[in-house]
Structure 1
Amino acid sequence: MFKRHISITSCLYSIPKKNKLPPRPKWLIKEDEIKEKFLKGGSGPGGQKINKCNSKVQLTHIPTGIVVTCQATRSQQQNRDKARELLALKLDDLYNAENSRNNIIHDRQLKLKQSKAKKANRKYKKLEEEKDTPSTPEEVIMDPDQEFDEFIKSAKVDV
């Protein structure tokens, strides 16, 4: 019966680990809701093979009308897998916008960028403070009247 106290601020502003991201939402795709086409490539690397073979994949999600095309490689099977993954991510964004994988990855990237900027600002602020403050007591500039009073006091003690 141990109770743990978790700080709310640490939960809200913590940067999720890369290996703790939600899984890719492949379960959102149902094969009977997809129309699949294979097209000739026409652009990008691959040369003559791309222009002759139907390696480009176009998936259409019938209920939503979302169309995804993929021509990442010369392999038709790899393009099919990649297109299904892209379609699943788009459906996840549509159905679960707040907690979708893309949204979490985007938030993570923003937080990392802000963290780096904050760290750099602290570094340069610290350097400025070190430059402005004197490092030894001899460098402390005194008022001329105060310096004269100090001199008189030290002269009286010596006499």
Structure 2
Amino acid sequence: MPEFMSNTWRCGAPESAEAAAPAARFDQALARARADKRAALATYLPVGYPDPAGSQRILHSLSEVSDFIELGWPYTDPWLDGPLISRASAQALAAGFRAHHLFEAIRSLSSSRASLLVMSYYQPLARYGDTSRQRPRGSRGLGCDPS
């Protein structure tokens, strides 16, 4: 296993309490739903769909009603995804999705009450991990940044 995969990964703004303990944020979202006597709502969107700006607008709208938001990392060969997610990922890639768009989405949603999860195939994570020595500025504690 590559070294970067053996570390704990954190999502969210590094200065937030939730960033230090994403599992606690996940548990808090479940507890809110239980307290409200309702099912938790999890939503999914490939980051960058339909385009980077549109994706941000959709994700912020979802954050107002979702307990969990699954942020999809678009991949060129989504062989395990169904046709809808495959087409959305292809459109995000065609619109110029890059890893920094995922980090921007995490940063901009980190103060929302929704718990964030990144869904990805191994290949994009491994590729990013191999090149993560030059992290985007301000990315410490975000996405695939090992703690």
* TM-score, normalised via structure 1 length: 0.20
Greater percentage in helix: 1
| Structure (1 or 2) with the larger CA radius of gyration | 1
